[in-house]
Amino acid sequence: MTRLGSVIVAAVLALPATAAAHISLSNPVVRTVDQKVGPCGAAGSVRGANVAVLEPGSMIEVRWTEPINHPSHYRVSFDPDGQDFTVPNDFMDFTQTTNVLFDNIADRAGGSYTQMIQLPATPCENCTLQLIQMMYDKAPYGDGNDIYFQCADIALRAGGAPAPDAGTGPGTGSDAGVDPADPDPDTISGGCAAGGGKSSCIIVFICALGVAGVARRRHRA
């Protein structure tokens, strides 16, 4: 193996483990990158030290990526005291609405997603935002392999600030999913190349460097 090839292999192997994640909540800050166990991704998951302090009743932009695509839809929920979230009864069940802010946010073959939500107006110190992904290609339902979970720890206090860049992202708005009070589905998507997210961008960049190196060696020859 050439020196350039060794560098490329080492760089790919050095990519963070989150590159294999199926969903990756980025705003508000995610509690843990784990996502296989409800309600917040990891067995025994509890509130952490990264707490987003936000203004009660403010609008924020929830942001996440789907590095590995699955046909699916997403749900954003908010618990004002803890992490007692409902779980859908099946893939297309929208009746479990306790704490649900938006449901049926459609998948667009991976990439980046945003969803504007309005936070509750009542202050809370032990509140949690949850993002789940319901997948359609992981039958049978209920075996623990068809839903991914991630949470963000929140505190709603007077004088808190909206999340960074709230409301400034492309295509934002309260109609990106199904609001239980005003159903109107829509989606936002994007990402690098085929929608693989930041890690895919890194891989594409590394491969481009490799091709450029081969071209230079041929030119010198």
Question: Are the CB atoms for 96 and 132 separated by under 8 Å?
Answer: no
pTM, 2 dp: 0.66
pLDDT of residue 92: 84
Q: What is the distance between the terminal CA atoms of the chain, rounded to a whole angstrom?
A: 19
pLDDT-derived band of residue 21, with 50, 70 and 90 as boundaries?
A: low
Query: CA 4 to CA 178: how far, in whole Å?
Result: 49
Beta strand 124-135 with 72-79 is: antiparallel
Q: Where are the domains of the chain?
A: 21-196
pLDDT of residue 2: 56
Give me Rg for the CA atoms of the chain.
20
List, in order, residues 6 or more apart from 216 with CB less than 8 Å away: none
Into which CATH architecture does domain 21-196 fall?
A: Distorted Sandwich (2.70)
Mean pLDDT of the chain: 73
Residues 49-61 have pLDDT tens digits of: 999 999 999 999 9
Burial (CB < 10 A; 0-12, 13-18, 19+), residue 211, is exposed
